[in-house]
Amino acid sequence: MLVPARRASPDDAQAALRELPSVEELAGRLTAPHALAVAAAREAIAARRAELLAGEAGEADLVARASAALERGERPSLRRVLNATGVIVHTNLGRAPLAAEARAAASRAAEGYANLELELQAGRRGSRQAHVGGLLCELTGAEGALAVNNGAAAVLLAAAALAGDGREVVVSRGQLVEIGGSFRVPDVVAQSGARLVEVGTTNRTRLEDYERAIGERTGAILRAHPSNFRTLGFVAEVEIEALCALGPPVIDDLGSGALAEGVAALRDEPPVRRSVLAGAALTCFSGDKLLGGPQAGLLVGRTDAVAAARAHPLARAVRIDKLSLAALEATLRLYRDPDRARREIPVLAMLEAPEDVLQARAQRLAAAIGHDGVEVSRAAARVGGGALPLLELEGPVVAVDPGAQGADTLAARLRDSDEPVVGRVQGGRLLLDPRTLTDEEAEAAGARVGAALRMPPNG
């Protein structure tokens, strides 16, 4: 159903508006269940009405537009994306990709029933924490462990368990950070039922600042690692060992959760084992991000503190689900062999990817695009996810000159597909970073980019 339109006077626009079909009329021309056809027809007509009111010219095939709307409606909203941004832990793209072992474990758990809270040998109810608790204690040296559904929940539960009855949580002003989505440490502490006591200044906090703040109402000391920023210059902070020696329980929020051994890129991240060894009551860190597993919040520490967290009513509200638990267990098992973990956990492999591997992958990607305006250049990748904000990972990238259609248009086309490709636009070119692609993904991304470059301007 072609509806003519052209840049014309307001009277002509009104005439074109009157020529628009009714929703029912257009829906009747579509091959789809009535409710879906009506929704697609309504979307196509509304878009065309807006164009006419804006004075846009040209013809509009409303049947084709409505059919395209139907096709879009059949796509899953959450779908796989080829990440060519060079941001390893990309929050908008789901953060850490899972290792093959973790994906397989989640798939097995999803196929049917699982012994989530059943002790198979005894035939009685058990705890879902049993699947990962022992592994976490083994890997961190902690006496007890607990997994919840995300990192912020871990901190919330820790503060609620140790000081949620109105007692005080002492924290340095330099650690009152804001994490992604505008969530702030003071707000998390407030929701726990504890009262926040700030000490020191934004750039310098000393041991005596904490000592002066500690009193009968002190429930815990909170140390929050500034994962997504760094203060440089005239700065001072108190080390975890000194904080634990002060007496009150210490909650150490490490953020990204660096468990890997021997990864040079992680040398500036606070190790979990150090906090446990120092005597922190509860050490909180992420199960995804730098650990490379599913979204989860992990608490490890002293037996009494973990027991208090486990018994708190919030533990039920923030508990981890079976699919995440299966993937987390499989990821933690890989850490038993540090070399295997660095090979098989994608985040760690990306951090340590050799130059020759990246160069070969970039050439493979460029060849798959098969276009004149493509070259292998250099740029810096990032860790992302609020981790290691100063670290730049220089390496090869494929730079695509999109010609007349423009980099933004090309990027939009690549996002609008069943398996989108997401790169980054810089200097009028689309940059595709091989660090965050596998070899197979590089070829697939290249084919999609090549096809998008060959599309007509208005295709």
Q: Specify the pLDDT at position 10.
A: 65
Angle at 257 between CA 229 and CA 173, to 5 degrees: 40
Reduced to 3 states (helix: H, G, I; strand: E, B; else coil), residue 236 is strand
Contacts of residue 455, defined as CB under 8 A and 6 or more positions apart, other chains included, come to 413
Dist CA 162 CA 308 (whole Å): 7
User: How far, in Å, are 21, 39, 81, 458 from residue 46 at the CA level?
Assistant: 11, 11, 29, 20
Element (H, E) at 222: strand 218-224
User: How far, in Å, are 183, 293, 302, 423, 457 from residue 315 at the CA level?
Assistant: 20, 21, 17, 39, 54
pLDDT band of residue 146 (cuts 50, 70, 90) is very high
CATH class of 100-337: alpha beta
Average pLDDT score over residue span 167-187: 83
Q: Specify the pLDDT at position 149.
A: 96
Poorest-pLDDT segment among 223-237, 256-270, 416-430? 223-237
Range picked from 33-47, 168-182, 430-444 for highest mean pLDDT: 430-444
We find that the CATH architecture of domain 82-91+349-454 is: Alpha-Beta Complex (3.90)
Sequential DSSP letters for 381-448: EB-BTTB-TT--EEEEEEEE--GGG-HHHHHHHHHSSSS-EE-EEETTEEEE-GGGS-HHHHHHHHHH
**Selected residue with higher pLDDT from 459 and 409:** 409
Q: Specify the pLDDT at position 5.
A: 42
- 238-286 residue pLDDT tens: 999 999 999 999 999 998 878 888 888 888 888 999 999 999 999 999 9
Show me where the domains of the chain are located: 2-74, 82-91+349-454, 100-337
Is this prediction's pTM over 0.95?
Answer: no
**Residue 172 near residue 200 (C-beta atoms within 8 A):** yes
Examine the pLDDT at 159 and tell me if it is beyond 90: yes
Two tokens, residue 258: 């660096």
- Exposed/middle/buried for 163, CB within 10 Å: 0-12, 13-18, 19+? buried
